[in-house]
Amino acid sequence: MHESGRPVDLTEAQFDAIQARKPAALARIEAYLKGHLGAADPAVMQAFRAVPREYFHYIYSEHRATPGDAYEADPKPWALGYGSALSDYLGQAYMTQVCKPTPADVTLEIGTGSGFQSALLSRIVSRAYTIEIIEPLGRAVGKIFAPLGYGNVSSRVGDGYYGWPEVAGGFDVIIVTCAAQYAPPDLFKQLKPNGRLVIPIGQPFKRGQVLYIYTKDESGKIHSRRDIGVFFIPMTGAMMKHPAPPPAATVQAAATGAAEAEPLPAAGATQK
């Protein structure tokens, strides 16, 4: 943590206590994925084993490390400061798996937050990009990947509404970790054929938000699937200034029973 510019005071006994809780947390993740998706993707489970979640428990507005909160028995979001949060690990596991990441993929996360989501993806994919709109948070979190050896993660401060158009070739996976009122059009433009966009959609700070999974087929048509109930803090920036565009003729809705689906645990989004 010192290499990332974040002070931490952790004894060996405290570190051992944190690690002792990790196997139970991994078992909860595996059971949750099996219960909701039929199976736990081995690549997702391996990423959770590899990434030290305690490293991402940090309150940036107070310059205070909180690694002792990691691997809690009752998964929940944890404050990062600046109105942002580290999402609960069950919700992050679910969203990671429905992205269907593969080793050749290039991914984009909208809402870096703690950096944990892109750190997970970086253990599975070829290249992970992540954007944070909150400047002090984005600048601080951008320093944490290199000390972990995650050289395939690129981060920047910006408005994720516009994606990252400078990345040549676009993205196989785009994951949005804040509630949007609609899917930003630029994200579809940056999605590769056969790519997946995973995004919570709903009104700010209201129940009834739903996780949508969009796919782009080989011809460029967009198909949508309504997945599961979620609760995230809202995407801001340009999202709050631009009205929703009319539904594109290329979007073929294939909604499937999300209204009765069990919601994911309340998730703290990372874009303000």
The residues annotated with a catalytic role in the active site are 87
Q: What is the per-residue DSSP string for 43-66? A: HHHHHHHHS-GGGG-EETTTTEE-
Strands 58-59 and 64-65: antiparallel
| Packing angle of the helix pair 89-98, 12-37 (nearest 10 deg) | 50
- CA dist 129 → 61, 96, 151, 175 (Å): 24, 14, 11, 10
Residues 6+ apart with CB under 8 A from 89: 25, 28, 29, 48, 53, 71, 75
Residues 6+ apart with CB under 8 A from 30: 40, 45
Q: What is the per-residue DSSP string for 115-154? A: SHHHHHHHTTSSEEEEEESSHHHHHHHTTSHHHHT-TTEE
The three-state secondary structure class of 18 is helix
Find tokens 């565009």 and name the residue: 245
CB–CB of 269/177 below 8 Å? yes
